[in-house]
Structure 1
Amino acid sequence: MSLTYKDITAAAERLKGHVLNTPFYHSQRLSAATRTQVWIKAENQQYTSAFKERGALNKLLSLSDDERARGVYAASAGNHAQGLAYHGQRLGIPVTIVMPRGTPFVKVQKTQSYGAKIVIEGASFDETSAYAQKLCRDAGAVYVDPFNDEIVMAGQGTVAIEMLKAVPEIDTLIIPIGGGGLIAGMAVAAKAIKPSIRIVGVETVMYPSFHTRRNGLASPVGGSTIAEGIAVKDIGERSFAIADPLVDEVLVIEEADFERAIAMYVNVEKTVTEGAGAAGIAAVLRHPEKFEGQKVGLIMTGGNIDMRLLASILQRELVREKRLVTYRILGDDRPGMLSQMADVISSKGGNIVDVAHNRLVLDVPAKGAEFDIMVETQDARHAHEISEALRNTGYALRMD
């Protein structure tokens, strides 16, 4: 089967009252920062904090009574698992989720809390998916693919209907690409409503599966990314076939871009997004010339991010902006030296966060010491002022 606009409007009608028509709002601050008119669709406000509920629920609601009784299976360690488990529990449909070994316990626990049966198997998504499909066949149940299913794509496509109904003047939609289900569904809906609209996909540099398939490339795929929601090695065959003719451009984004975008959502919008959810603003920040002056719709696809990872990203952004700086000072190991450095930093308005005192570094004289002093500063200019003041003490200095 293929995917039509009629399928997506039917899905929208089916999902009414079951999922949120999430806010789609204009961000004055992001618009000013990027010289682009930016609207944000806050899918992180769904009950399970991600858009995946839409496709999962549309699939569940399409099942016959017999299929519902037999239950559903899926392979997922993330938002698809939670969306399927939550709505399966609501509808009284048994849900079994197969997760790969090494899935964080918090994700296992959260999916279990929605009533799903969890099976841990496979070292990779491909292994996990193959095992889940075998279990599903053996049980005579229904397999719910996270992206390579037209009914799931139709559910995801309802996001575009809501966006363009709220703000018809949108010129461009920027959509994250993992397995391709979201961009396929949204592209079909958006082009049917407004044929002139520009569809831009975003992938992480570690998993450019759509880009490589479209261009006949053999780029390496894999690695650890903070955008794990779109870390898919192979684009879905069906989703690619549907999306490819409709997608105007695909941008491949670096890890640092995702980090910067997550931090910007926290600092500017005061909201939390996962890595994949920040793909849209990451693309605008990396390629401002492609979007300047346009009316752009972004999808904050989910907010399920590990709190330790979020804390690390925010700290790394402080380092990037030179608001958290480590000064390495080589000097004599004598009483009062550290106090002198602290006085200099204090006199310039810096706030000492941490100090490491190392006497055992071999490239430092035996009577010397190495100090790493982490300082909170106002900005790069302030950090430079402190470094110059420290250099004026006569000690060797390196600034990280």
Structure 2
Amino acid sequence: HFALEKAFKISSVEKLRGMKTQIKELKLKINEVEDELVNKEQISIKGLHVLCLVHNVSITYIYGKQYCEFFYGDTVKGIIQRNEKKEHSLLYEDTLLETIKQTHWFIENVQKWVLLDNQLKLVNEKTKNQILHRELDFKPGDSVAINSLEARLEYNRRKLMNTNLFIWVKADLNQLPNGHLKISFEFLEQWYILGYPIFQLADRNLNDWWSRGHDLNRSIYGIHFIHNNFQGRNEKLTIKAETGFTQRLDFTYSNPYLDKKKTLGLSFNTSYSTSKSFPYKTRNDTLQYLTDEKILRERWAGGITLRKRFKFYDFQTLELKYTHTIISDTVVKLNPNYFSLNAKEQNFTQLLYTYSYDFRDLIAYPLRGRKFDISINKVGILPSDHVDFW
């Protein structure tokens, strides 16, 4: 009977060396197919060649009438027949072969696949592993093509970097004794708690501030506090407190991963601000300011944002926001049309939809890639709103 070693060419053996694949049932399976085909006088035994044998997945290719047999472990999946016109037909029904047929798979395009080990190692300190797994397009137990493995690892490394949780990300690949591959990622996490002072001029620009006497009382100062990766799930907590020319307090919390599939995110924010000096009208293209010991303008605002992530690079967000503003009687007397005729309050609700496609190599400092955004904003969606426009 024919020997298995004759079925391998030297170049094929060298490429597969170190894989240590199991072939104990291969000979038996080949015999079964061989007997069937020889009885039909369709092939000769000498034309049998094994093209690929990796991790219990084998493909046998028979010249003459040209048959392909697929194995997975100890199970024969089926046989594909190909004629001289390279037309394929199924001899045995199988889900795998149906998939191959639908994708116009040809024997000349056989790629070698390797199985990822069950230990997908993610070395980090605070970030939860499930957040990192969300960015990867493979998981333990998957089979990946060898010839595209390096590029695929680089794409996944970039996606991990684009979470903005790490200073650097390194991918490592090791081959195990059983021929499987173990992929590990190592990270240097950022400093997630940040706080920095705020100082800005209340006027539109430096010239405007200088023309008004360059008084430091016309400045805004405070502190901005940010806690990224709040509980290791890429949440973000932001608190901003300002005082001086105006007083303002902002609070924002976002969680990009609410569901098990890590596709749905939610964030909300609220703010409160007061002003004892603000521009109430214009004269000759110049802002006229009003100053008082009492609060002249008071504003509350709040919003909630729902984000849906499709695959890796597509995002859709829907934001609902409400704003309520009150001005003093003094402002109404000096400018009755500040809002509308003698109105002291203004309320409006806005709804914003945004679609974003972001395929950049590095979001912080992109060198190549593409980004596309489209937004639709409706201000004034309730009958009681005082503002209505798109």
TM tier, smaller = under 0.3
TM-score (norm 1): 0.20
The structure, 1 or 2, with the larger RCO (C-alpha pairs under 8 Å, 6+ apart) is 1
TM-score under structure 2 normalisation?
0.20
Greater strand share, structure number: 2
